[in-house]
């Protein structure tokens, strides 16, 4: 789903490897069309995917920063400033 420059990717039901593959594929597809990739991972089942996102994508080329909002089940990868 895309909403005003924000692309969402639902990772529910995926393991860590599947989530990483899905995130990498989405990052390749969105290119410059979005300024944020919102990753919906949930948190009731644990923090493994959330931890992987922080570990794998912090400081990665093309990602300005990682933001967590009030919803603990979502993480935004900021790709560029709005």
Per-residue model confidence (pLDDT) at position 31: 77
> Which among 53, 46, 47 is positioned nearest to 78, based on CA atoms?
53
pLDDT in tens, 14-63: 999 999 999 999 999 997 789 999 999 998 878 999 999 999 999 999 99
Show the DSSP H helices in 1-82 as ranges: 16-30, 48-57
Structure tokens of 55?
């570990």
Residues whose CB is less than 8 angstroms from the CB of residue 68 and which lie 6 or more positions away in sequence, other chains included: 74, 75, 76
Give the per-residue pLDDT at 45: 79
What domains can you pick out in the chain, each with its CATH number? 2-78 (3.30.1370.110)
pLDDT tens-digit series, residues 70-82: 899 999 999 999 7
With 70 as the cut, is the pLDDT of residue 3 above it? no
Per-residue model confidence (pLDDT) at position 20: 98
pTM comes to 0.90
Name the one residue in this structure whose structure tokens are 């993480």. Answer: 75
């Amino acid at each position: 789903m895309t909403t005003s420059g924000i692309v969402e990717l639902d990772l529910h039901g995926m393991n860590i490897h599947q989530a990483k593959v899905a995130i990498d594929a989405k990052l390749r597809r969105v290119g410059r069309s979005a300024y944020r990739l919102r990753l919906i991972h949930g948190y009731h089942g644990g923090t493994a995917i959330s931890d992987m996102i922080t570990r794998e994508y912090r400081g990665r080329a093309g990602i300005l920063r990682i933001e967590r909002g009030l919803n603990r089940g979502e993480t935004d990868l900021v790709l560029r400033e709005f």
